[in-house]
Amino acid sequence: MKKYNVAIVGATGAVGQTMLKILEERNFPVKNILLLASARSNGHVIEFKGEKITVQEAVPSSFEGIDIALFSAGKTVSKQLAPEAVKRGAIVIDNSNAFRMDSEVPLVVPEVNPEHIKKHKGIIANPNCSTTQMVVALKPIHDTVKIKRVVVSTYQAVSGTGVDAVEELKQQLKMILSGKAPKHEVYPYPIAFNVLPHIDIFDETGYSLEELKMVNETRKIFDDDSMAITATTVRVPVVNCHSESVNIETKEKLTADMAREILSKAPGIKVVDEPQRKQYPLPGDASGRDEVFIGRIREDFSLKNGLNLWIVADNLRKGAALNAVQIAENMSDNALI
């Protein structure tokens, strides 16, 4: 089996650490691993397959001899360094929003549109975490009866913001439970015992950038600009795993039982849908898992062809790191590297 020189950019962050863990778990054919981050992480030591690897500062010359570069360091770093990596022969799989809507860059979820991978010109984009889990759930339904409209409300964990947000939630909980006023820096208000209908910046229409990502990215992934989509994205005091309430209108009738059968056979999906036995997807059960969990599947009786779904997935894994590794696996399996 061919092995590859792999670089992880943003190796000390939550997603970068998860990428490294998944590469090891899935025994991806790594020849050499290069861990890159900002200058302040230079010299930090991380273990991979029992070997201690020293983190280096990410600079253009870092990518000499690299076959695959997994980026998880944010838009600014990706804009600066991804083209430099491509110049030096690397294929970049980028987790930021730097290139997602670039017409020259495929936006890929392997369970949904793997055929787009081969269209790349050096860079492949990972979708937003909330988009990824939703399109995995919608793909089998869209293939069967075509989806006309999507209304999604998200309940997103603080790990989607990063390790500082996770720590802030934990500290706020301690302060509140000890009778103290919580301090906040990461979010505009305390997140502990709270819900914030605010993820990313708002535009002049009142929609947030996170909401618009879900609209535009979903259309691009399905290659269907006619799909009507609206989103409300919300931050909740959960450490890990995003949840979504999704209402869809289809062109043809699909009963709840039919939807369960279709979804239960689809790749990357686990149906957990026995509400009478209190069985439905929970963030606490999905954390650390690779599947997209779907439950509360029921018909929307206010529409002729409506369905409701409850979707939960680990945003650090399937929402980010795992999806990137799956893209690399697909390229390896199909001799695209």
Active site residues: 129, 242
Sign of CA dihedral 234, 237, 242, 244: negative
Beta bridge mates, 53: 46
Q: Give how far Cα 243 sits from Cα of 66, 132, 240, 297, Å.
A: 36, 12, 10, 14
The H or E element that residue 298 is part of is strand 292-300
Output the six-digit token pair for 121.
């010109």
Q: How far apart are CA 93 and CA 72, in angstroms?
A: 9
Angle at 143 between CA 140 and CA 148, to 5 degrees: 105
Q: Are 312 and 236 in contact (CB under 8 A)?
A: no
**183 φ/ψ sector (left φ>0, alpha ψ -120 to 50, else beta):** beta
Q: Are 181 and 171 in contact (CB under 8 A)?
A: no
Question: Residue 1 is which amino acid?
Answer: M
